[in-house]
Chains A and B, each alone.
Chain A
Amino acid sequence: MMEPIVKARGLVKRFGTVTALNGADFDLYPGEVLAVIGDNGAGKSSLIKCFAGAHSADDGSMWVNGEEVTFASTHSARDHGIETVFQTLAVSPALDIASNMFLGRELRKKGFMGTVLRQLDKKGMRLQAAEQLKSLGISTLQDITQAVETLSGGQRQAVAVARAAAFGSQVIILDEPTAALGVRESGKVLDLIKDLKNRGLTVVLISHNMPQVYEVADRIHVQRLGKRAAVVTPKSASMNDAVGIMTGAIDVPESEQQLSPV
Chain B
Amino acid sequence: MSEKSSSKDAVGKEFELRLTPMRRIQKTLYRYPWLSSLAVLISVVLAFGLVNERFLLPSTISLMVQQTVIVGSLALAQSLIILTAGIDLSIGSIMIFGQMVMANMAVFAVASNVTPFAGQNPYLAIIVGILAAAAAGSLNGFLIVRFGLPPFIVTLGTWSVFMGLALIFFKARTIQGPEMPEVMLSLGEGFSVGPFFVTFGLLVMFALYFAVAWVLRNTAWGRHLYAVGDDPIAAKLTGINTNRVLFSVYLVAGLIMGITALITIGRVGSASPNVDPMLNLQSITAAVIGGISLFGGRGAVVGALIGSMIVVAVEMGLSLAGVDQAYRTVAIGVLVIAAVGIDQWIRKVKV
Instruction: Give the B-binding residues of A (Cβ under 8 A).
Output: 52, 54, 73-75, 78, 84, 86, 88-95, 99, 103-106, 108, 117-120, 122, 126-128, 130-132, 134, 139, 141-145, 147, 149, 166-168
Contact = CB atoms under 8 A, between A and B. Distances in A.
B17 interface: yes
B1 A120 contact: no
Contacts of B227: 92, 95, 103
B350 interface: yes
Contact of B15 (A143, A166, A168): A143
B330 interface: no
Main secondary structure of the interface of A (DSSP, over half): loop
B1 A167 contact: yes
9 contacts: A88-B237, A92-B234, A94-B298, A95-B223, A103-B224, A103-B240, A104-B224, A130-B12, A130-B14
A90 B230 CA distance: 11
Contact of A94 (B18, B240, B297): B297
A103 B231 CA distance: 13
B319 to A, nearest CB: 38
Interface in B221-276: 221, 223-224, 226-227, 230-231, 233-240
Nearest to B237: A90
A80 B14 CA distance: 33
Interface string B79-109: 0000000000000000000000000000000
Contact of B238 (A74, A127, A142): A74
B220 A95 contact: no
Contacts of A131: 1-2, 4, 7-8, 11
Given A128-B1, A131-B4, A134-B14, A118 B235 contact: no
Contacts of A128: 1
A56 to B, nearest CB: 14
A93 B234 CA distance: 10
Contacts, number: 106
Nearest to B4: A131
A62 to B, nearest CB: 18
Contacts of B14: 130, 134, 139
Contacts of A168: 1
Interface of B: 1-2, 4, 7-9, 11-12, 14-18, 30, 218-221, 223-224, 226-227, 230-231, 233-240, 297-298, 350
Given A75-B239, A142-B15, A89 B234 contact: yes
Contacts of B218: 117, 119-120, 122
Contact of A103 (B1, B2, B223, B298): B223
Given A104-B239, A106-B223, 15 more contacts: A74-B236, A74-B239, A88-B237, A89-B234, A91-B231, A92-B231, A92-B235, A95-B223, A95-B226, A99-B223, A104-B224, A131-B7, A143-B16, A166-B1, A168-B1
B171 to A, nearest CB: 44
Nearest to B350: A149
Contacts of A120: 218-220, 223
A198 to B, nearest CB: 16
Contacts of B298: 94
A90 B8 contact: no
A119 B233 contact: no
Nearest to A86: B237
Contacts of B1: 128, 131-132, 166-168
B189 to A, nearest CB: 31
A143 B14 CA distance: 8
B262 to A, nearest CB: 25
Contacts of B237: 52, 54, 74, 84, 86, 88, 90
Contacts of A166: 1
B9 to A, nearest CB: 8
Given A92-B231, A134-B11, A143-B15, A104 B226 contact: no
Given A95-B227, A130-B15, A90 B234 contact: yes
Contacts of A95: 223, 226-227, 230
A208 B231 CA distance: 26
Nearest to B227: A92
A54 B220 CA distance: 22
A95 B219 CA distance: 14
A94 B226 contact: yes
Contacts of A52: 237
A47 to B, nearest CB: 16
Contacts of A122: 218
Nearest to A49: B237
Count chain B CB atoms within 10 A of each CB in A54, A94, A130, A132 and give the residue with the most: A94
Given A127-B8, A141-B15, A104 B297 contact: no
Nearest to B17: A143
A126 B12 contact: yes
Name the 6 nearest CB pairs between A and B, nearest first: A90-B237, A104-B239, A90-B234, A106-B220, A92-B227, A104-B238
